[in-house]
Copies of this chain bind each other. A is one copy, B any other.
Amino acid sequence: GTKKSWDFMRTHDSVSVLIFNTTSHCFVLVKQFRPAVYMCEWERTKTQPCEAAEKTEEGASEAVASGSESREDRADAEGGSSSAWPPAATGITYELCAGLVDKPDLSLEEIARQEVLEECGYDVPASKLKRITSYRSGVGVTGSKQTMFYAEVSDDNCVSAGGGEPREGELIEVVKVPLHEAMTFAYNERIPKTMGVIFSFIWFHNNMSPKYKISTNV
């Protein structure tokens, strides 16, 4: 009934972090297989000819092949076309490093700091996290509050490969997007991504690029 559905919808607030590596002049994103996105695309293939969706995702894999291992992608490209299921790459999205606010004793900055370490392998103090802004996400479903941070890291801060906590079911690939490709990446609709990626890249372009006199390709 209604109550059960509501219980399911409740989610925690969340934090997300735009990470910029000042050594390599790259943004650090996470690439994740999202079951909800995959099922959404699977539904689409049942109601539409599936070629359009597949073509889109293959294009996306190519576009970012330089920045990722893309082992799964290649496997899909080889074996996927004869299957009734869309290739696994269909469920992949590029996202900001992010996490749920599920530890009431920690500040948002401390939670964000933990996610940067666990997901992307950079150890930076919470004090280095700059708050960008906050907003409501999924207002029709969860209505939770998201707070976005900016973190500058360097190769010296890199202490592990990241990738999330396998025991928490996370399967995360760390992906770097060179600054000079960032705006092309942001507006390339063939690359599946969240609005947080697009917004934060543009925020950086407007607010950080002038400061550092870094040229972006807008």
- Interface residues of chain A, those whose CB is within 8 Å of chain B, are 4-6, 8-11, 32, 34-40, 43, 47, 91, 93, 95, 104, 133-146, 186-187, 189, 192-199, 202-203, 205-206, 218
| A142:B5 contact, CB within 8 angstroms | no
**Chain B neighbourhood of A144, CB < 8 A:** 40
- Write the chain B residue with the least CB distance to A183: B206
Cβ of A8 to closest chain B Cβ, rounded Å? 5
- Which residue of the partner chain, among B36, B134, B143, contacts A140 with CB atoms under 8 Å? B36
Instruction: List 24 A-B residue pairs with CB atoms under 8 Å apart, sorted by A's residue number.
Output: A5-B5, A8-B9, A10-B39, A10-B43, A11-B140, A11-B141, A36-B138, A36-B140, A36-B141, A36-B142, A36-B143, A37-B136, A38-B143, A93-B136, A93-B143, A133-B186, A133-B187, A134-B189, A135-B197, A136-B193, A138-B142, A195-B199, A202-B203, A206-B218
